[in-house]
Amino acid sequence: MSENQFEQKNLIIEAAKTLGFSRIGFARASSLDQSAERLTQWLEMGYQGEMKYMENHFNLRKDPRQLVPGAKTVIVLSFNYATKNIQKDKNAPKIAKYAFGKDYHKVLRKKLKSLFSTIQEICPNCQGRYFTDSAPIMERDWAELAGLGWKGKNTLLIHPQAGSFFFLAEIIIDTELPYDSPMRDYCGSCRRCIDACPTDAIDKNGYLMDAKKCISYLTIELKSQIPDEFKDKMDNWVFGCDICQDVCPWNKFSTPHSEVNFFPKEELLDLTSQDWHALTEEKFADLFESSAVKRTGFNGLSRNLSFIK
């Protein structure tokens, strides 16, 4: 790599930090053969449940050069959403922290657009595309390769200095830049996430998730009725779940984010259990106007609220 390429990389890192991204890593664009094999085995076990989209565009998932012809570099970014804000009523139905503020897809997409424009100024003639949970990309695998953390026993990406409360985004470009190296796995003998999961979604040995049992899947992705076997096992979650992250020792190193778009409405935090169960469609539309919670819809949230009664 030339001195100019290292300078370009440093300028991109500086621009990303200015936009609020926490960390940025660079990996060589190539075919993820081993990751694709693990994905195939996971699909064959039927762990995807109703998420049929996981079976689609397999070649695109496997190789980013199918998404961006001539791709040389996968830039992976993390954006912190850790917070000390909590819902005030301890008995109220719970939503995952990532959904406290505005929908991260829209917030990060705007930042990625700006960063990509800067990259094109830094690297003349650079072409590429940017994504945040919006394309068939094995983003945690790429984040691992780019040195942003390791995939923990709960299958989420963990960084030793930041825990796991962060979003991931990718920019795939046809320009070669200096690459980073993966870091080792620091989960060790810990199994707190495995033992804490009330639905036994995580394999007893870790590193494998049966999505059909995951509370996040049951409250968001599942469109049919929640199976009765999970009655009294939902721990009051109605949109997503943070249990395996809340118990992870590495999250003691997470620090609260400063992104105004992710600050929760006080009204949301103030909702009592009674307020949640009396939620009307009009109130839902107002309260979650720009929130990721809209993804499940009023009917989906009502189903979840009824199930945990």
For 62-114, how does the pLDDT look when each residue is reduced to its tens digit (9 = 90+)? 999 999 999 999 999 999 999 999 999 999 999 999 999 999 999 999 999 99
**pLDDT score at 38:** 96
Q: 197 and 154 in one domain?
A: no
Rounded Cα distance, 249 and 178, in Å: 32
Q: What percent of the chain has pLDDT over 70?
A: 100
* pLDDT band with cut points at 50, 70 and 90 for residue 144: very high
- Say if residue 148 is in the same domain as residue 41: yes
Closest CA to 77 of 198, 171, 169, 210: 169
What residue has token string 């990625």? 112
Contact 60, 136 (CB under 8 A): yes
Domain identity same for 161 and 263: no
Residue 301 maps to a domain:
yes
Q: Could you tell me if 233 and 106 lie in one domain? A: no
The alpha-helical segments, DSSP class H, found in the chain are 3-18, 33-44, 58-62, 104-122, 139-145, 192-196, 215-216, 243-246, 266-270, 273-277, 281-287, 297-307
The pLDDT assigned to 309 comes to 87
Q: Are residues 228 and 259 in the same domain?
A: yes
According to the model, what pLDDT value does residue 134 have?
81
**Do 122 and 231 fall within a single domain?**
no
Closest by CA to 258, choosing from 18, 78, 20, 19, is 20
Last residue of a domain, one of 141, 173, 205: 173
Domain, as residue range, for 263: 192-307
208 forms beta bridges with: none
Asked if residue 246 and residue 114 are part of one domain, the reply reads no
Residue 24's DSSP bridge partners are 77
Helix (H) or strand (E) holding 169: strand 166-173
Q: How far apart are CA 129 and CA 5, in angstroms?
A: 20
165 and 261 together in one domain: no
More reliable by pLDDT, 60 or 47: 47
Q: For all residues of the chain together, what is the average pLDDT? A: 97
pLDDT in tens, 158-182: 999 999 999 999 999 999 999 999 9
Residue 183 located in a structural domain: no
Same-domain check for residues 136 and 257:
no
Q: Count the domains in the chain.
A: 2
Average pLDDT for 12-30: 98
109 and 210 in a common domain: no
Handedness of CA 92, 193, 250, 296 (dihedral sign): negative
Domain membership flag for residue 18: yes
Residue 128 dihedral angles phi and psi, to the nearest 5°: 175, -165
pLDDT in tens, 25-48: 999 999 999 999 999 999 999 999
Backbone angles phi, psi at 19, to 5 degrees: -85, -5
- Looking at residue 167, its pLDDT comes to 98
**Last residue of one domain, picked from the residues 139, 173, 207:** 173
pLDDT level of residue 129 (50, 70, 90 thresholds): very high
**Same domain, yes or no, for 122 and 197?**
no
Instruction: Tell me which residues are annotated as active site.
Output: 133
User: Is 152 found in the same domain as 8?
Assistant: yes
pTM of the model: 0.96
